[in-house]
Structure 1
Amino acid sequence: MNYLAHLHLGGDAPAQLLGSLYGDFVKGRLAGQWPADIEAAIVLHRRIDAFTDSHALLAQARARFPAERRRYAGILLDLFFDHCLARNWPDYADEPL
């Protein structure tokens, strides 16, 4: 759900932008059904997700949600982080949002 962060981190070539978005929708093994540069961007998307999802600070943030809402905590945090990135965009990128 954190599309802005993935687009920012994934590279600015068209195939990288596509793969950054496809990462949330393409499931399973990548076996050459996509061009290599798109598959590389999907792999990067998955690696970014794995890193952030396993980070101790993210686990602490998820734990702040009530148990009955924790199922949605990751989605809400992704949206919040994209909001923070958009709000502070000039701190992270040279080009305008």
Structure 2
Amino acid sequence: MREFRLDELDAERAANNGAYLQFLRSRTMSAGLYALDAGALDTQQPHRQDEIYFVVSGRGALTVGAETTHVARGSVVYVPAGVPHKFHHISEDLRVLVVFSPPESA
């Protein structure tokens, strides 16, 4: 078993000056913490893996393909592999738990 604390993961992510911190990688999945501050631009490109976003805190919008939804704490969104997607209109700092399957490419 491995246990993680979101506050510690966010501090480690910030200390490494990055928006994303991968904190778990196994043979079948990987997980990370993605952070976008209010007003930030999401520059990510489509991934080769399916992914699930779980919004831990914050508010914004997420467009996946041609669909847009508003997200806030507790939102869970599935993004199929290869589909363009972006967070935008971020009104409160977003902290998002991301799970990739299979694991995100290194």
TM-score, scaled to structure 1: 0.26
> Which structure ranks higher in relative contact order (CA pairs < 8 Å, sequence separation ≥ 6)?
2
Per residue, is there more strand in 1 or in 2? Answer: 2
The answer to which structure has the higher helix fraction is 1
Larger CA Rg, structure 1 vs 2: 1
